[in-house]
A and B are shown apart, each in its own frame.
Chain A
Amino acid sequence: MEPRSLREPERLLFELSRPGRRGFALPPLDVPEPGRFDLDPRYTRTSIEGFPELSEVEVVRHYTRLSRLNYAIDLGLYPLGSCTMKYNPKVHERIARLAGFADAHPQLPEAAAQGCLRLMHDLERALCAICGMDRFTLQPAAGAQGELAGIMMVRAYHRDRGNPRQVVLIPDSAHGTNPASAHIAGYRVEQIPSNQRGCVDLAVLRRRMADDVALLMLTNPNTLGVFEGEIQEIAGAVHAKGGLLYMDGANLNAFIGVARPGDMGVDLHHLNLHKTFSTPHGGGGPGAGPVGVKKHLEPYLPVPTVEQEGPKFVLNHDRPKSIGKVRSFFGNFGMFVRAFSYILALGPDGLRRMAETAVLNANYIRRRLQDTYHLPYSEPSLHEVVLTDHHLEETGVHTLDIAKRLMDYGFHPPTIYFPLIVKGALMIEPTESESREELDAFIEAMLRIDEEARRDPELVRTAPHTTPVRRLDEVGAARTPVLRWLPPR
Chain B
Amino acid sequence: MGDGHRYIPASDADREAMLRTIGVSSIDDLFASLPAALRLQAPLALGPALAEQDLWAHLEGRARENRLPTPGSQFLGGGAYRHHAPALVDHLIGRTEFYSSYTPYQPEISQGTLQAIFEYQTLICQLTELDISNASMYDGASALAEAILMAERTARAGRVVISDRLHPEYLQVCRTHLANLDIAIATFTARGDGTADPEAARRILRQTRTSALVVQHPNFFGCLEEVEALAAAAREAQAHLIVAVTEPVSLGLLKGPGSQGADVVAGEGHSFGVPLSFGGPFLGILAARQSFLRNLPGRLVGESRDVDGRRGYVLTLSTREQHIRREKATSNICTNEGLCALIASIFLAAAGKSGLRELAVHNHAKAAYARKALGAARGCSLPYGAPIFNEFTVRLPVTAEAAVAQLADRSLIPGIPLSRYFEGMDRDLLVCVTEMNARAEIDRLAEELGRLG
The answer to whether B179 touches A184, judged by C-beta atoms less than 8 angstroms apart, is: no
B340 in the interface (beta carbon within 8 A)? yes
The answer to whether B63 touches A367, judged by C-beta atoms less than 8 angstroms apart, is: no
Taken together as a complex, chains A and B put the C-alpha atoms of A286 and B160 apart, in Å, by 29
From A116, A284, A469, name the one whose CB has the most chain B CB atoms within 10 angstroms.
Answer: A284
The answer to whether B68 touches A100, judged by C-beta atoms less than 8 angstroms apart, is: yes
The answer to whether A142 touches B180, judged by C-beta atoms less than 8 angstroms apart, is: no
- For chain B, residues 250 to 294, give those with C-beta under 8 angstroms from any C-beta of chain A: 251-256, 259, 268, 275-282, 293
The answer to whether A93 touches B408, judged by C-beta atoms less than 8 angstroms apart, is: no
Taken together as a complex, chains A and B put the C-alpha atoms of A106 and B236 apart, in Å, by 39
One of A57-65, A291-299, A388-396, A444-452 at the interface: A57-65
- B8 — which chain A residues lie within 8 A by C-beta? 350, 353-354, 357, 432-433
The answer to whether B111 touches A89, judged by C-beta atoms less than 8 angstroms apart, is: no
The answer to whether B113 touches A102, judged by C-beta atoms less than 8 angstroms apart, is: no
**Closest partner residue, chain A, to B94 (CB atom):** A93
B377 → A minimal CB distance (Å): 16
Taken together as a complex, chains A and B put the C-alpha atoms of A483 and B8 apart, in Å, by 41
**Closest partner residue, chain B, to A354 (CB atom):** B8
The answer to whether B322 touches A177, judged by C-beta atoms less than 8 angstroms apart, is: yes
B184 in the interface (beta carbon within 8 A)? no
Taken together as a complex, chains A and B put the C-alpha atoms of A60 and B203 apart, in Å, by 52
Chain B: interface residue total (CB-CB under 8 A): 205
**Closest partner residue, chain B, to A39 (CB atom):** B387
**Closest partner residue, chain A, to B293 (CB atom):** A481
The answer to whether B40 touches A259, judged by C-beta atoms less than 8 angstroms apart, is: yes
The answer to whether A326 touches B176, judged by C-beta atoms less than 8 angstroms apart, is: yes
**Closest partner residue, chain A, to B90 (CB atom):** A97
One of A201-209, A239-247, A327-335 at the interface: A327-335
B-contact 0/1 string along A333-371, CB 8 Å cutoff: 111010011011111111111101101110110011000
Taken together as a complex, chains A and B put the C-alpha atoms of A439 and B33 apart, in Å, by 24
A-contact 0/1 string along B316-341, CB 8 Å cutoff: 11110111111111011111111110
**Closest partner residue, chain A, to B78 (CB atom):** A107
A73 in the interface (beta carbon within 8 A)? yes
The answer to whether B64 touches A115, judged by C-beta atoms less than 8 angstroms apart, is: yes
- For chain B, residues 73 to 109, give those with C-beta under 8 angstroms from any C-beta of chain A: 74, 76-80, 82, 86, 88, 90-109
A407 in the interface (beta carbon within 8 A)? yes
B34 in the interface (beta carbon within 8 A)? yes
A171 in the interface (beta carbon within 8 A)? no
Q: Which of B63, B113, B254, B301 contacts A100 (CB 8 A)?
A: B63
The answer to whether A472 touches B305, judged by C-beta atoms less than 8 angstroms apart, is: yes
B423 in the interface (beta carbon within 8 A)? no
A455 in the interface (beta carbon within 8 A)? no
- Evaluate whether A281 and B102 lie within 8 angstroms (CB atoms) in the complex, with A176-B323, A259-B34 already known: yes
Q: Which of A51, A106, A258, A407 contacts B353 (CB 8 A)?
A: A51
A-contact 0/1 string along B42-62, CB 8 Å cutoff: 011111111010011011101
The answer to whether A482 touches B102, judged by C-beta atoms less than 8 angstroms apart, is: no
The answer to whether A63 touches B116, judged by C-beta atoms less than 8 angstroms apart, is: yes
A-contact 0/1 string along B114-150, CB 8 Å cutoff: 0111110111011101011101101111100000010
The answer to whether A481 touches B317, judged by C-beta atoms less than 8 angstroms apart, is: yes
Q: Which of B280, B329, B442 contacts A141 (CB 8 A)?
A: B280
**Closest partner residue, chain A, to B92 (CB atom):** A63
The answer to whether A227 touches B349, judged by C-beta atoms less than 8 angstroms apart, is: no
A310 → B minimal CB distance (Å): 15
Taken together as a complex, chains A and B put the C-alpha atoms of A34 and B358 apart, in Å, by 11
A-contact 0/1 string along B175-187, CB 8 Å cutoff: 1110111100000
The answer to whether A330 touches B280, judged by C-beta atoms less than 8 angstroms apart, is: yes
- A473 — which chain B residues lie within 8 A by C-beta? 304-307
B10 in the interface (beta carbon within 8 A)? yes
- A47 — which chain B residues lie within 8 A by C-beta? 353, 357
- A141 — which chain B residues lie within 8 A by C-beta? 138-139, 142, 280-281
- B302 — which chain A residues lie within 8 A by C-beta? 477-478, 481-483
A141 → B minimal CB distance (Å): 4
Taken together as a complex, chains A and B put the C-alpha atoms of A144 and B333 apart, in Å, by 6
Taken together as a complex, chains A and B put the C-alpha atoms of A477 and B78 apart, in Å, by 40
Chain A: interface residue total (CB-CB under 8 A): 204
A70 in the interface (beta carbon within 8 A)? yes
Taken together as a complex, chains A and B put the C-alpha atoms of A471 and B308 apart, in Å, by 8
From B40, B90, B435, name the one whose CB has the most chain A CB atoms within 10 angstroms.
Answer: B40
B364 in the interface (beta carbon within 8 A)? yes
Taken together as a complex, chains A and B put the C-alpha atoms of A421 and B318 apart, in Å, by 19
- A67 — which chain B residues lie within 8 A by C-beta? 92, 95, 97-98, 112
Taken together as a complex, chains A and B put the C-alpha atoms of A226 and B34 apart, in Å, by 10
A121 → B minimal CB distance (Å): 11
- A42 — which chain B residues lie within 8 A by C-beta? 228
- Evaluate whether A45 and B351 lie within 8 angstroms (CB atoms) in the complex, with A229-B33, A433-B9 already known: no
- For chain B, residues 1 to 54, give those with C-beta under 8 angstroms from any C-beta of chain A: 4-5, 7-10, 14-15, 17-19, 21-23, 27, 30-35, 37-40, 43-50, 52
Taken together as a complex, chains A and B put the C-alpha atoms of A82 and B426 apart, in Å, by 50
The answer to whether B181 touches A184, judged by C-beta atoms less than 8 angstroms apart, is: yes
B413 → A minimal CB distance (Å): 7
**Closest partner residue, chain A, to B167 (CB atom):** A328
- Evaluate whether A48 and B356 lie within 8 angstroms (CB atoms) in the complex, with A23-B350, A97-B275, A344-B47 already known: yes
A210 in the interface (beta carbon within 8 A)? no
B299 in the interface (beta carbon within 8 A)? yes
Taken together as a complex, chains A and B put the C-alpha atoms of A71 and B19 apart, in Å, by 30
B190 in the interface (beta carbon within 8 A)? no
The answer to whether B101 touches A360, judged by C-beta atoms less than 8 angstroms apart, is: no
- Evaluate whether A98 and B63 lie within 8 angstroms (CB atoms) in the complex, with A78-B102, A413-B106 already known: yes
Taken together as a complex, chains A and B put the C-alpha atoms of A224 and B98 apart, in Å, by 29
Taken together as a complex, chains A and B put the C-alpha atoms of A37 and B224 apart, in Å, by 14
B303 in the interface (beta carbon within 8 A)? yes
A2 in the interface (beta carbon within 8 A)? no
- Evaluate whether A436 and B10 lie within 8 angstroms (CB atoms) in the complex, with A73-B101, A284-B336, A328-B167 already known: yes
The answer to whether A328 touches B282, judged by C-beta atoms less than 8 angstroms apart, is: yes
The answer to whether B335 touches A129, judged by C-beta atoms less than 8 angstroms apart, is: no
Taken together as a complex, chains A and B put the C-alpha atoms of A476 and B331 apart, in Å, by 24
B170 in the interface (beta carbon within 8 A)? yes
B-contact 0/1 string along A261-291, CB 8 Å cutoff: 0011000000000000010111111111000
The answer to whether A352 touches B43, judged by C-beta atoms less than 8 angstroms apart, is: yes
B254 → A minimal CB distance (Å): 6
Between A and B, 19 residue pairs with Cβ closer than 8 Å are A22-B352, A23-B86, A63-B95, A70-B112, A97-B90, A104-B277, A107-B80, A141-B280, A187-B180, A281-B101, A284-B117, A324-B172, A325-B173, A333-B278, A351-B44, A359-B27, A361-B18, A367-B21, A382-B30
Given contacts A73-B96, A259-B38, 18 further A-B contacts (CB under 8 A): A43-B224, A49-B129, A52-B348, A52-B353, A88-B96, A101-B63, A108-B278, A180-B327, A183-B327, A229-B35, A280-B339, A329-B80, A344-B58, A346-B49, A360-B10, A404-B108, A435-B10, A483-B133
In order of increasing CB-CB distance, the 4 nearest A-B pairs are: A282-B339, A100-B63, A329-B279, A186-B180
